């Protein structure tokens, strides 16, 4: 798993608008979610390519037999069909941008 960390020099201040803009520029549709402490998503897959991006809190992701904790400014690509799980770590909610590959836009770009 390769975690992408926010680069303030290249991407500007870490905030929702800038992260959303960065993900949308890559051809993703972005939705914002807030997950309270204790939230756990058991192992599952998606039929789309996606990126989990964290604006606040700590989010443990498990994929390919590895585990990583995403913190503010971190992004993790989850390719379609990849088994993964996630859980909120600690006492703070996770504010997440869930980015789904827009197939229509991707076909236009390709």
Q: Is 21 left (phi over 0), alpha (psi -120 to 50) or beta?
A: alpha
| Whether residue 36 has pLDDT greater than 80 | yes
Q: What is the pLDDT of residues 80-91, one digit of tens each?
A: 999 999 999 999
Question: What DSSP element (H or E) covers 24?
Answer: helix 16-25
Does CATH place domain 3-109 in 3.90.1150.10? no
Q: What is the pLDDT of residues 53-107, one digit of tens each?
A: 999 999 999 999 999 999 999 999 999 999 999 999 999 999 999 999 866 544 4
Q: Is 23 left (phi over 0), alpha (psi -120 to 50) or beta?
A: alpha
State percent of the chain over pLDDT 90: 90
From residue 53, alpha-carbon distances to 14, 42, 72 in Å are 11, 18, 8
Give mean pLDDT, residues 36-63. 96
């Amino acid at each position: 798993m390769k975690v992408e960390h926010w680069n303030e020099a290249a991407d500007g201040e870490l905030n929702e608008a800038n992260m959303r803009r960065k993900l949308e520029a890559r051809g993703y549709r972005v939705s914002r979610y807030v997950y309270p402490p204790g939230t756990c998503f058991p192992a599952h897959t998606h039929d789309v390519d996606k990126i989990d991006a964290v604006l606040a809190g700590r989010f443990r992701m498990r994929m390919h037999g590895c585990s990583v904790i995403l913190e503010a400014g971190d992004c993790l690509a989850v390719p379609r069909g990849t088994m993964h799980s996630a859980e909120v770590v600690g006492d703070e909610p996770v504010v997440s941008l869930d980015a789904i590959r827009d197939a229509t836009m991707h076909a236009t770009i390709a």
